Amino acid sequence: MSKCWKKYLLWFAQEHIEFRIAEIESLLSLFKIDMRYDEKPLNQEPFWLVEFTSETDAQLLASRSVSLRNCIELWGRANSLEHLHSTLKAKRDLFVPHFHSQKSFKIEVETFGKHFSQNEKVSKLETFDYLPLQGKVKLKNPDVCLQYIEYYGNKHLNPPELPYEIFFGKLIASGLRQLIQKLSLKTRKFIGNTTMDPQLSLLMANQAQIQSGDIILDPFVGSGSLLVAAAEFGAYVFGSDIDYLMLHGKTKPSRIKQKKRAEDENVYANMKQYHLESQYLDVLISDFTTIFWKPSMQFDAIITDPPYGIREATERVGTEKSNYVVSEEHLATHVPAKIEYGIPIIYRDLLVFASKHLKVSGKLVCWFPVFREDYNEECLPTHPCLKLIANCEQPLSKVTSRRLLTFEKTRPPSIEELNIEYSTIQDFRDKYFTIREESRKEKRLKNASLKKENWEKYMTNKNAVEVHK
């Protein structure tokens, strides 16, 4: 029996648009949803035209997506209002089952790329008087919500007179955008200088295909933002970090007006704030290079943002002294020394760890910093047991960005694959500070040259005045 496909409009938020395809395809795979593209999606446009075989599938996708604003069953599409009305009038009998006297309704008008006044929106609504609407109008939580959308393109400062596209249909489901506001860093109990934005945290959790009951690890946990996102989707979360002061809430407050941290500021306080205590396993103070997990320990996913050595130090326990031994009398109060933990070694250790402690088909989702002019896929970390399935860019500046890499474990590693070395990964930190110092030097020289030029102009004008006198 052939499947019956129905057209839908996916309407997206205009944030982190580079991550849309990766998130949606990850969720389609997670829930085993059949979806096909009616047209090839373009990142610069806020909508996709797709087809599902079931309305339930569309609702399930929307229930987890944080990129998606709305999913609409598409009743009409045109490039003019007159064409849209003629299309809808021809299908009028098909809409009757959606309306009866006991069902409330409303019609929402939305524009993209051009602003409409309330009066203009009302005038658009009044042109749909031919629809078989019977129930009462209800502006909040109606039984049926209809969506009218006009798309004017991306030139917001100079939009065209008429829309490029007009869409009309029935709202099927809204995305999970409200969760971004719920997890806002403005109201979160415990944050640090590099706490991950809630939307990016949730995107990472979706790309890791986290499900209820999964066991998740963040080995560079910091203030635990990624643990919060994973726990929201039902995972049991575990973290570790070498920074004792951060995990105990003893660092300098990150909020400008806060002079001192509260005594209960820590990762657990965040979990408690969102009523996720039952999902919290623990966080440990540990050096990632010293693995304490049993070989049999398997995680369903690893999501993390390793330090780059810019705003957070890249350190590991160690000393440059040869044959260094701590005497037994000092052992109880000994604080281990730390040495540089370079980015190439961090990512080697991370991928080797994932190859060993991820379940087969489990996901490793991590950020990787790059210089945009140097970027190519050959500079990315790799491992024979891990397949790169998604690679999305978030620009940080004109010259730098970071890539969100999603790996899938395909098989267990051999002994040799647990001791691989990387020679192609550039140490982002070294080049970053080299370029910054060069930029500062150029700025100092430019300022010195400007001062000299202004001084010469001043002296020239001064001499000219004296000659004139």
For 232-261, the pLDDT digits (tens) are: 999 999 999 999 889 988 888 888 888 889
Q: Which of 301-315, 319-333, 385-399, 444-458 has the highest mean pLDDT?
A: 385-399
Structure tokens at 14: 């205009």
Q: Specify the higher pLDDT residue, 82 or 309.
A: 82
Exposed/middle/buried for residue 194 (C-beta within 10 Å: 0-12, 13-18, 19+) = middle
Res 165 pLDDT > 70 = yes
Residues 6+ apart with CB under 8 A from 197: 185, 225
Give the pLDDT score at 444.
66
- How far is it, in rounded angstroms, from Cα 74 to Cα 167? 7
Percent of the chain with pLDDT over 70: 93
Please provide the average confidence, as pLDDT, over all residues in the chain: 89
Give the pLDDT score at 299.
98
Q: Specify the higher pLDDT residue, 138 or 172.
A: 172
Res 450 pLDDT > 90 = no
Res 1 pLDDT > 60 = no
pLDDT (tens digit per residue) in 206-233: 999 999 999 999 999 999 999 999 999 9
Closest CA to 352 of 417, 305, 433: 417
CA within 13 Å, CB half, 194: 15
Q: Which of 1-5, 43-47, 212-216, 408-412 has the lowest mean pLDDT?
A: 1-5
Give the pLDDT score at 466.
62
Task: Count the helices and strands in the chain (H runs, E runs).
Answer: 13, 16
Res 439 pLDDT > 70 = no
Give the pLDDT score at 412.
96
How would you classify the pairing of strands 165-174 and 68-78? antiparallel
Percent of the chain with pLDDT over 90: 58
Structure tokens at 124: 């658009």
Task: Summarize the confidence of residues 295-321 as an average pLDDT.
Answer: 86
Res 438 pLDDT > 90 = no
Give the pLDDT score at 469.
54
pLDDT (tens digit per residue) in 94-138: 888 888 888 898 999 999 999 989 998 899 888 888 888 888 888
- How far is it, in rounded angstroms, from Cα 466 to Cα 469? 5
- How far is it, in rounded angstroms, from Cα 66 to Cα 12? 9
* Domain 6-176 shares a fold with domain 180-426: no
Q: What is the DSSP letter of 137?
A: B
Segments making up each domain of the chain, as ranges: 6-176, 180-426
C-beta of residue 241 within 8 angstroms of C-beta of residue 315:
no
Q: What is the dihedral of CA 463, 464, 465, 469, to 10 degrees?
A: 100
pLDDT (tens digit per residue) in 42-82: 878 999 999 999 999 999 999 999 999 999 999 999 999 99
User: Which of the four pLDDT bands, split at 50, 70 and 90, describes residue 200?
Assistant: very high
Res 442 pLDDT > 90 = no
- For 381-410, b/e burial (b = at least 16 CB within 10 A) is bbbebbeeebebeeeeeeebbbbbbbbbbe
C-beta of residue 408 within 8 angstroms of C-beta of residue 386:
yes
Give the pLDDT score at 437.
67
Task: Summarize the confidence of residues 277-284 as an average pLDDT.
Answer: 96
CATH no. for 180-426 = 3.40.50.150
Res 352 pLDDT > 60 = yes
How would you classify the pairing of strands 280-285 and 236-241? parallel
CATH no. for 6-176 = 3.30.2130.30
